[in-house]
Structure 1
């Protein structure tokens, strides 16, 4: 996917912050009891480092709102080279950024399994992933409870019902440009939940990884994935989660600058730009996004966001 310019650490650090009179609250919830501690009675699936597909980290392939289900909706992201990504939803509504936690878990374990295979320590992994419900809740750092169990089935419905179509351009032999268009595929290919009828508790979960994602990780010489901080799952607002993924993709361990307008366009937000900018400024002031500090500065085409890895502040030379 496309991204805006990245700035080396030698550039001056932006210091302008928006002034808000209202009380600023954290966007990161407290970790559920025991979610960050090993559980020796549960297989260590959740101990695998979290990873995400780098190719879709700078666009929202899901909705950021918990309230708006966006049934039968579509979002399209056009890029300067003529390529685009289109996200469509069906009867069950568009998958949310919180539903996407299940995809992150599947990506993480598929990548780990391929690493073992390449090191001669296992078989080539299947696209079918069968985690225990307790492993899902532990990995995604969610509290164990009846409601959480019930939400898994609905999340799988939406993930399978949310389709992604990717069209990209690339140069072929003799510099003849080619247009490559894939057919729409779901965020997951399919899902299956087995539960007990008397209690409603889930016995098993089965997730089939879609071809586009399976090929990206298994058939590539080096999987196109990036690690994700475990505190990502504690970020409460959807826009906060999107900003972290964008910063992880665009800034890495340095910094990147994107205009508010571009971020709004890439977020797929159904709200107004004004409201989106207000929410963005709240997150800037809260300043507790994992790994990154966010700053606002003036740009040529309006306000822009500076996404800076916190290690840059630690490594910055002392002032005169």
Structure 2
């Protein structure tokens, strides 16, 4: 066994199959620069009683790509909690840089490690002042994204120094949010494929706000503010339109239009105001379609008419939140395969379900208990 393999036995890592998590507060408000060009000017956000001030360090303000490391560390801590393992009271996580780069789909070349060092310096140097609560304590706090970091190096047989491990101390504000508040949401692995800062920010907002809703509607000025963008609205709207045309934001469809085009009580009073609508790509699981098809646009929901007589119906695919919840409950399992089996089982029984999510989880629990993970 090589030296590096021996060291890796003692490092924290995100166990294969464990989902990436993000802090709800980090998804709700603009904390990070959306560009890869170093931002050296302070940023302030004040909306709905939330106050945030970000002061860049020597290498600039931490970017939304730097945030990947916070998600990685938070996901390791969350996975420990889910597995019933102790979390580090000193908030220190010691991990392999290679594992982080691989997990977040980054290059593992020398250039990749150099960029990783820049990421550490920006997270360490950026200072945050906010009144956003953590551990249910609403106080004004100042902190850096990480309190400290340490690079452990070793010599190869050729005498070259390489990064054997990285030790990062997470800030107390975020640590308490994960461990005490448990305010985390599962993130799609395809998030790390997104190359534009605005794409990533749109996904965060969609994931945070859609939830069990059929859609989320927001005016462009408000959206621009929540993204932390300083571009003029016309250019911001043009960039948004390009992202919508490319269809790159995973799990959601986006629509940009005038307020008059939307049928919603939440739309702007001015019919000419631009608005963005976000919808989950998966339909809500409580929408049932009559067996034999969904022709003629019939979206009516079917109910049980008696305990003894059931109308045969086939539930539509489960919602994004239900699928993500299932991935958390049954790590390492192919949830889509279980979903297909559940739909076939339900259809075969000829039942219409009033609580599809509850029925699915009962089915999935039985499925997992009666099979090996490689089945």
The equivalent of 1:125 in structure 2 is 88
Contact in 2 for aligned 1:45/1:139 (Cα 8 Å): no
Change (3 A) 1:316 1:76: farther
- Which structure is higher in RCO with an 8 Å CA cutoff and minimum separation 6? 1
Change (3 A) 1:243 1:207: same
Q: Which moved more, 1:147-156 or 1:43-52?
A: 43-52
The equivalent of 1:56 in structure 2 is 26
Deviation at 1:168, TM superposition (A): 5.1
Paired residue for 1:287, among 232, 247, 250?
247
Task: Indicate whether 1:248 and 2:207 are aligned.
Answer: yes
Contact in 1 for aligned 2:252/2:278 (Cα 8 Å): yes
What are the within-5 Å matches in structure 2 for residues 101-112 of structure 1? Answer: 101-112=68-79
> Aligned partners of 2:132 and 2:30: how far apart in 1?
17
> Aligned partners of 2:216 and 2:192: how far apart in 1?
23
Change (3 A) 1:313 1:90: same
> Aligned partners of 1:59 and 1:289: how far apart in 2?
19
The equivalent of 1:231 in structure 2 is 190
The equivalent of 1:205 in structure 2 is 166
Deviation at 1:275, TM superposition (A): 1.5
Q: Give the paired residue count.
A: 262
Paired residue for 1:270, among 216, 230, 237?
230
> Aligned partners of 1:161 and 1:43: how far apart in 2?
24
Matched residue SS, 1:294: strand
Paired residue for 2:44, among 76, 82, 98?
76
Paired residue for 2:106, among 135, 138, 142?
142
TM-score w.r.t. the length of structure 2 is 0.64
TM-score w.r.t. the length of structure 1 is 0.75
> Aligned partners of 1:144 and 1:105: how far apart in 2?
16
Larger radius of gyration: 2
Matched residue SS, 2:231: coil
Q: Which moved more, 1:243-252 or 1:193-202?
A: 193-202
Deviation at 1:89, TM superposition (A): 1.2
> Aligned partners of 1:65 and 1:168: how far apart in 2?
24
Matched residue SS, 1:151: helix
Task: Indicate whether 1:297 and 2:254 are aligned.
Answer: no
Higher helix share: 2
Deviation at 1:196, TM superposition (A): 5.3
> Aligned partners of 1:307 and 1:316: how far apart in 2?
22
Deviation at 1:276, TM superposition (A): 1.4
Change (3 A) 1:168 1:215: closer
Deviation at 1:64, TM superposition (A): 0.5
Deviation at 1:273, TM superposition (A): 2.1
Alpha-carbon RMSD across the aligned residues, in angstroms, is: 2.5
The equivalent of 1:91 in structure 2 is 58
Contact in 1 for aligned 2:14/2:75 (Cα 8 Å): no
Task: Indicate whether 1:184 and 2:142 are aligned.
Answer: yes
Change (3 A) 1:298 1:210: same
> Aligned partners of 2:36 and 2:248: how far apart in 1?
21
Matched residue SS, 2:168: strand
> Aligned partners of 1:228 and 1:270: how far apart in 2?
26
